Structure 1
């Protein structure tokens, strides 16, 4: 989110911050069932995106990041044929875990978080 856009918006409400955090933390559904890391943020974002622009922006950011992680995970699976993928998938999982936690905390503080190295398909 650009600085100009944030300056025009009032600070997000407590409820908006919590739903934005839920968009990020919904990715942990991937620990429970396959593709939960994509479905969790998608469902929360779709249900709450019209409630507040902050939720909409953070939901898109969370979903874009999880799409990027899924694509990178597929690349790691292919690279397991040449062994390096085993190391890379571990690093990818650790990085996704840390960045998701940071994003959720920042969203709960009302800060618009942007994940690094993210392919932003949803604008």
Structure 2
């Protein structure tokens, strides 16, 4: 479905691209850094032309920034208190489960919801 808004930008529904945006977070496990960069590029280039991309892209970026924050807090927490391992395990479970759950939601046309995410971008 294609719509044309006031600025003559063609707006289309592309659930596959929304799914790819969520699943691209798994690049962190392959490259170590692609899980933030690739969704950011997809979001910035298509947020005005794909229906729902603005909402899904912000959710992915907020989630990735939250995971980075958890790691920054958790690693010194291991050395100082030993309890940082719990935060890292929590972040690891979230990093594996939540992108898949939200990719399924995106394919069904539902709004994303990432558990434990701090909203840096609103």
TM superposition score category, shorter chain reference:
0.7 to 0.9
- 3-state SS, counterpart of residue 120 of structure 2: coil
Deviates more, 1:84-93 or 1:53-62: 84-93
Distance 1:53 1:121, change over 3 A: farther
Structure 1: how far apart are the matches of 2:111 and 2:19? 10
Structure 1 consecutive aligned stretches of length 4 or more whose deviation exceeds 4 Å:
none
Q: 1:35 aligns with which of 33, 36, 39?
A: 33
- 3-state SS, counterpart of residue 53 of structure 1: coil
TM-score, structure 1 normalization: 0.80
Q: Larger relative contact order (C-alpha < 8 A, sep ≥ 6)?
A: 1
**Structure 2: gaps of 5 or more residues:** 1-11
**Structure 1: gaps of 5 or more residues:** 1-11
Q: Quick check: which one's strand share is greater?
A: 2
Q: Give the CA RMSD over aligned residues.
A: 1.6
Structure 1: how far apart are the matches of 2:116 and 2:93? 15
How far apart are 1:26 and its partner, in Å?
Answer: 1.1
**Superposed CA offset, 1:10-67 (max 9, x none):** xx73xx2111111111111111223222112111112221212301210111111111
